[in-house]
Amino acid sequence: MPLRRRWLALALTLSLIMLIGALGPWARPAAARPAPELMRAYDLAYNLDHEEAIATLREVIAERPNDPAGYRGVAALTWLRMLFLRGAILVDAQMTSRVKSSGDVPKPPADMADVFHTHIDRAIELSEQAVDNAKDNPDAHYQLGASVALLASYKASIEGDGLKALRDAKRAYKAHQRVLELDPSRKDANLTLGMYRYLVSLLPRAARMMAYLVGFDGGREEAVKLIEAAAAYPGETEAEAKFALVLLYNRERQFNKAQRILYDLKRRYPRNRLVWLEAGSTWLRDERAHMADRDLARGFQKLQTDERTRMQGEDEIWMLKRGAARVSLRRLEEARRDLAVAQTSSDQAWVQGRAHVELGKIADLEGKRELAREEYDRGRKLCKSANDRRCTRVAEALKKRGYPIEQ
């Protein structure tokens, strides 16, 4: 993969790390806490009350027109809504997203794109003015880096412009390096540095050397430590860092650590039904179906009484996860009903593909080997088209050896 395209992949990964916790860049040191209205908007956003959060942010802008935080918050939530419309909001989405160039990605709704650019441009302008007026003020550099990092994520995930995203990412990285030079206690700046370092660590050696030359650092273990420090830092980036760690711990297969964070997030944001979905998905990756079924059941209770906007393809994803747990628990008729819904998803090929793999398992358990092979083959093709490599490998193995695979 060419370096430019690989950087697009990494910038897209970054954007997905920041999805649910998109508002974290509002952080301030203890001596300069945001207004109560800003904190209320922050809590609303993490609880998925997006419309109320944006309305509150507009009040903040009216009261504090020279503070970049309100503008950046509106931009972040607008970006988040776009990703909702595309169904790109979960850890699974990050693990299966295909890299697309700017000519391949769908254009965002024009009105939402205008709102995003108007507000992020104003946030960057105000942050630049603050840096010019006080070059040794760590918070000014923090605000600038946070705003530019959000713009980089938007360019990668919404516009598919990896080169421009890379330039903004480099600028954000340098800004937050400067924060720590001026005030080493500002552990909230660790979040941006840690996320970019983690992404660099995923590059092949030659590309990683190029990243070092343009100003980035690497090191996966160090990256995770930086983000862990940000998660332990009292402030508004604490939640964003925790959401980031849920993704990274899942990638690193440190499932117990991910569940400890998810437990805390469920307590803090009880109206965010997606936290229960992520918990169930993490249990499934850890092959602990009883625990997955428990958390998914609680999540379904929230889903069924929640009249707010659904993520694209969300109902089918819930059905897929519950169906997969029920297959593992040998509750086959219940699983079949769930998976029959999941396989009809027209929004996410990876959902369809995994549903067919689970249906193949049911066929194997019922002694229908030829039907099982057909389902695995359907699942393999769909998962491959969605770049879901783990599902593709599992489908190939199951087609050859059947379910359960003997160890």
Closest C-alpha to 382, from 337, 339, 335, 348: 348
Q: Which CATH number fits domain 268-401: 1.10.3210.10, 1.25.40.10, 3.40.50.1100, 3.90.79.10?
A: 1.25.40.10
Residue 234 confidence class, pLDDT cut points 50, 70, 90: confident
Most confident of 35-39, 149-153, 243-247, 395-399: 395-399
Residue 350 has pLDDT above 90, yes or no: yes
Residue 406 confidence class, pLDDT cut points 50, 70, 90: low
Say which residue, 34 or 342, is predicted with more confidence: 342
Domain with CATH 1.25.40.10 in the chain: 268-401
Closest C-alpha to 264, from 235, 238, 303: 238
Least confident stretch, 149-153, 185-189, 213-217: 213-217
pLDDT of 324 reads: 98
Separation of CA 179 from chain center: 25
Tell me the pLDDT tens digit for each residue of 107-163: 889 999 999 999 999 999 999 999 999 999 999 999 999 999 999 989 988 888 777
pTM of the model: 0.88
Least confident stretch, 89-98, 159-168, 193-202, 292-301: 89-98
Most confident of 2-11, 128-137, 230-239, 307-316: 128-137
pLDDT of 35 reads: 63
pLDDT of 19 reads: 43
Tell me the pLDDT tens digit for each residue of 255-274: 999 999 999 999 999 999 99
Tokens 């519950």 belong to 322
Give the percent of the chain with pLDDT over 90: 63
| Summary mean pLDDT of the chain | 87
Give the percent of the chain with pLDDT over 70: 88
Residue 62 has pLDDT above 60, yes or no: yes
Residue 55 has pLDDT above 90, yes or no: yes
> Count of CB atoms within 10 A of residue 346's CB?
10
SS3 of the chain:
CCHHHHHHHHHHHHHHHCCCCCCHHHCCCHHHCCCHHHHHHHHHHHCCCHHHHHHHHHHHHHHCCCCHHHHHHHHHHHHHHHHHHHCCCCHHHHHHCCCCCCCCCCCCCHHHHHHHHHHHHHHHHHHHHHHHHCCCCHHHHHHHHHHHHHHHHHHHHHHCCHHHHHHHHHHHHHHHHHHHHHCCCCHHHHHHHHHHHHHHHCCCHHHHHHHHHCCCCCCHHHHHHHHHHHHHCCCCHHHHHHHHHHHHHHHCCCHHHHHHHHHHHHHHCCCCHHHHHHHHHHHHHCCCHHHHHHHHHHHHHHHHHCCCCCCCCHHHHHHHHHHHHHHHCCCHHHHHHHHHHHCCCCCCHHHHHHHHHHHHHHHHHCCCHHHHHHHHHHHHHHHHHCCCHHHHHHHHHHHHHCCCCCC
